[in-house]
Structure 1
Amino acid sequence: MSSINPDPLLKLYRDSETIREDFGHSITDRVVIDIFAYSEKLANRVVCREKVQASSWRESIDKIVISRTFGYPIMLGLLGLIFWITIVGANLPSQLLSTALFAFQDLLTQGFNALGAPAWLHGFLVLGMYRTLAWVVSVMLPPMAIFFPLFTLLEDLGYLPRVAFNLDNMFKKAKACGKQCLTMCMGFGCNAAGVVSARIIDSPRERLIAILTNNFVPCNGRFPTLIAIASIFTAGMAAFSQSLLAASSVILMVLLGILVTFAVSWGLSVTLLKGEPSSMVLELPPYRRPKIRAVLYRSMLDRTLFVLRRAVIVAAPA
């Protein structure tokens, strides 16, 4: 039985440690960059192009949208704009819907009295179940009917992958996989969908971190509640000031959830789930012209009514 000479293995280990010390945790990124650079070099050798294409308008936009200087302010600005439009636009529909639903409650009360229904039945069905559902529908439906189409519009436009690209570096600093930012962005739509989308992460350690921290990001189902709470605490102010302050409050709560995600991911990576973050290769899709019908269908039927149905099911027994 022949023995293995350990000298080559020790030399290989020492060389790898030297390279790791020189490049730090960016060694995986360096390997990926070199692979793509070599692939591009080979492609340039065998592919003939008639003329060099000038930079398209998409590349010009990406230089601004995913830049380190303007990327984060643009993300926060769009998020604040969506919340502000949602809060301002949902005030009047919520009031009208609440007035109509509670006016119908009075009609139900008159009908129960005319039928001679017992007081406990009237209290259970009308003052209990119907009143709760009326509050839930009037508070949650208008914000969702505005927020979901706007969020779906950004998704259909192709901006959400740019958000993932901007957040990749921050997740690496938290010793997590850059793909976790995709699952977090998916969590804005639904935390259950964010957990399911964690399967795109190859490493079991990083996949578990993404699953455990996805619930810290408020999903779309919580946004109407956050907006309603923010609007309640800012009541009594001028309409414009109230909407701005409410939108800022919701943004701060969202940012707090993201910071908690980073902190918990880093804590798990250095304690229970130790390991090095893997690299992420993300192909940015081209900007697309949104299809309004598809946006309205996905946002209203697949998201708004779906979340509202779950809220009604939970609120009705209460």
Structure 2
Amino acid sequence: MVGADDARAAIPARARQIREALGGTVQDRIVAAIYRRAEAVTARVVEAPTGPARGWEARIDDVLTSRVLGYPLMLALLGLVFWLTLAGANVPSAVLAGLFSGLEAKLTALCRAAGVPGWLHGILVLGVYRTVAWVVAVMLPPMAIFFPLFALLEDLGYLPRVAFNLDRFFRKAGTQGKQALTMGMGFGCNAAGVVACRIIDSPRERLIAILTNVFVPCNGRLPTLILLAGMLGGGSLAAAGAVAGLVLLGVAATFLVSWTLARTL
């Protein structure tokens, strides 16, 4: 029994040595072998239809996934999504804040008319109600804008291209390109990003994606970052650069921690 226990204890260490010796995950090599086999079978039994060699969809795909234009377009498009989310949420957030503030005044007047003790008014109105009202006013408009835009990009087929572009970087970090999608969802809401990690097949890589999703700032933290950047940045351009730098810092932390966890889990 002792020998069997020692053998079982040595299996994880041996598996880690094999994974490091192969220079990549075993799962990636298995999937690559499956695809090569599928391509070989397809080449023998499928005849390509005659017609135009390449359509406009293929040309767009070449641009979106190219090494030269793919990354700038990805940053520009995702930056546009973030800008639309933040800029478009200002008006509805202000409207909701005004409505909730007016309702708070009415609740305060009602409590005073009913003779509610001050400590109870503080707990219910100034505590519970005000907290819920501010959370809804700050987070609901960005989420109502960001997630439809994110869903639109997914329906258009752009998110798989983002995963393809970032697959090389995540692969070097020891994970896979699908983590780019969960990381993108984390910008909208980290909880949604964690739930989205179920699209990752490998339990180990899924765990890494879950643990590192917190490094990207969600729209609950972005308003705080924007406020601090506006107070300390000294100008709108500097503030925008500071927020962008913090977002990129979160992405860099995601890669670094993913690389560390891939070699320790």
TM-score (norm 2): 0.75
Closer/same/farther in 2, CA of residues 120 and 259 from structure 1, 3 Å limit = same
* TM alignment of 1:1-318, pairs within 5 A: 39-40=38-39, 43-49=42-48, 51-185=50-184, 187-188=186-187, 190-198=192-200, 200-201=201-202, 205-218=204-217, 222-231=218-227, 233-234=229-230, 242=236, 248-270=241-263, 272-273=264-265
- Equivalent-residue separation in structure 2 for 1:192 and 1:224 (angstroms): 15
By how many angstroms is 1:47 displaced?
3.5
Moved more, 205-214 or 92-101: 205-214
Answer whether contact 1:84 1:247 (CA < 8 A) is retained: no
Aligned to 1:113, what secondary structure does the other structure show? helix
By how many angstroms is 1:170 displaced?
0.7
Answer whether contact 1:80 1:248 (CA < 8 A) is retained: no
- Equivalent-residue separation in structure 1 for 2:184 and 2:149 (angstroms): 15
By how many angstroms is 1:165 displaced?
0.3
Answer whether contact 1:140 1:225 (CA < 8 A) is retained: no
1:124 corresponds to which letter in structure 2? Answer: I
Aligned to 2:54, what secondary structure does the other structure show? coil
- Equivalent-residue separation in structure 2 for 1:46 and 1:195 (angstroms): 36
- Equivalent-residue separation in structure 1 for 2:31 and 2:126 (angstroms): 63
- Equivalent-residue separation in structure 1 for 2:28 and 2:119 (angstroms): 67
Number of equivalences:
243
By how many angstroms is 1:255 displaced?
2.3
Residue by residue over 1:96-127, the C-alpha shift from the partner in whole angstroms, topping out at 9 and shown as x without a partner, is 22112111111111111222222222222112
Aligned to 2:98, what secondary structure does the other structure show? helix
Answer whether contact 2:182 2:194 (CA < 8 A) is retained: no
- Equivalent-residue separation in structure 2 for 1:115 and 1:24 (angstroms): 72
- Equivalent-residue separation in structure 1 for 2:228 and 2:72 (angstroms): 28
Closer/same/farther in 2, CA of residues 50 and 169 from structure 1, 3 Å limit = closer
Q: Identify the structure with bigger relative contact order (alpha carbons < 8 Å, sequence gap 6+).
A: 1
By how many angstroms is 1:25 displaced?
5.8
- Equivalent-residue separation in structure 2 for 1:32 and 1:196 (angstroms): 18
- Equivalent-residue separation in structure 1 for 2:50 and 2:215 (angstroms): 50
Match of 1:18 in 2: none
Residue by residue over 1:4-51, the C-alpha shift from the partner in whole angstroms, topping out at 9 and shown as x without a partner, is xxxxxxxxxxxxxxxxx9x97699989977875675465445444552
Answer whether contact 2:104 2:130 (CA < 8 A) is retained: yes
| Residue identity (%) | 51
Answer whether contact 1:82 1:147 (CA < 8 A) is retained: yes
- Equivalent-residue separation in structure 2 for 1:246 and 1:224 (angstroms): 18
By how many angstroms is 1:55 displaced?
0.9
Answer whether contact 2:185 2:193 (CA < 8 A) is retained: yes
Closer/same/farther in 2, CA of residues 43 and 191 from structure 1, 3 Å limit = closer
Closer/same/farther in 2, CA of residues 228 and 38 from structure 1, 3 Å limit = same
Aligned to 1:223, what secondary structure does the other structure show? coil
Unaligned runs of 5+ in 2: 1-20
By how many angstroms is 1:64 displaced?
0.4
Larger fraction in helix = 2
